[in-house]
Amino acid sequence: MAGQEVSAWRPRVPGVTEVFHARFTEYAYPMHVHDAWTLLIVDAGAVRYDLDRHEHGTPHDTVSLLPPHVPHNGSPATPGGFRKRVVYLDGSRLGEEFIGPAVDSPDLRDPVLRRRVGQLHSALARPGDELEAESRLVLVAERLRDHLRRRSGPGRRADPVLARALRELLDARVVEGLSLEDAGRLLQAHPAHLVRTFSGAYGIAPHQYLMSRRVGRARRLLLDGLPPGEVAPVAGFYDQAHLTRHFKKSVGVTPGRYRRSSLAGPAPDAS
């Protein structure tokens, strides 16, 4: 598709699950979730997105930190689209106690942090500089935690019990899936009530949440080098066409193109 550039890879740096560089002119992300923390900087243009039913934006000087398992979307906020760099971090760098503060204040205007994240990406793009990347990540994570601690206030409202129970069921059955009838029987609730409760709690329907988890699993397998045809059943998709349709909707490119970008290695430094 014209106006798209994508590069994705998994560096040998503890705590980093994926690096994703992209340029999109018109593509809009649907509501979706990630298993990891999403640390995002925009190098050109701007992105608008909804997180926890609140609209946010990413001007050039902003670092955005989106927590795991919280639905969000994204679309260009400028006529020429946007160019972004993303690093996905696992829970070893930021714990679950920071999810609430990150939801409340995901956009951080901090020139030092912005510069350090850019330096991190530069190191991540250079094979052989893993120690430098790990060192820079330590400083980035430390500054992120400082921001989030300052934003910590009274505990956020806990997830409704029924919605959380359904989410745990979906998390446990990402590949095999779960029918609403079976979920209703296990949780002793009517399927329609389950859908309303889950959607009300998380801002995303159960089927969208499950599909996001499957796409996330597919991304990891593609980064491991598996071809899309093998990834599809292992990630919970009916066939490769099913995977391609949902993957392209969520990520913006086909699984094949995503895999080729990862095999090509890191993108040239965009800083």
pLDDT of 155 over the 50 cut: no
Please state the three-class secondary structure of the chain as a single string. Answer: CCCCEEEEECCCCCCEEEEEEEEECCCCEEEECCCCEEEEEEEEECEEEEECCEEEECCCCCEEEECCCCCEEEEECCCCCEEEEEEEECCCCCCHHHHHHHHHCCEECCHHHHHHHHHHHHHHCCCCCHHHHHHHHHHHHHHHHHHHHHHCCCCCCCCCHHHHHHHHHHHHCCCCCCCHHHHHHHHCCCHHHHHHHHHHHHCCCHHHHHHHHHHHHHHHHHHCCCCHHHHHHHHCCCCHHHHHHHHHHHHCCCHHHHHHHHHCCCCCCCC
Is the pLDDT higher at 263 or at 205? Answer: 205
What dotted CATH number matches 161-263?
1.10.10.60
Q: What is the pLDDT of residues 20-67, one digit of tens each?
A: 999 988 888 888 999 999 999 999 988 888 887 778 877 778 999 999
In this structure, which CATH number among 3.40.50.11810, 2.40.170.20, 2.60.120.380, 2.60.120.280 belongs to the domain 5-151? Answer: 2.60.120.280
What pLDDT, on a 0 to 100 scale, did the predictor assign at position 269?
A: 59
Decide if 5-151 and 161-263 have a common fold: no
Q: What is the pLDDT of residues 222-240, one digit of tens each?
A: 999 999 999 999 999 999 9
% of the chain surpassing 70 pLDDT: 94
Q: What is the pTM of this model?
A: 0.85
Domain ranges of the chain: 5-151, 161-263
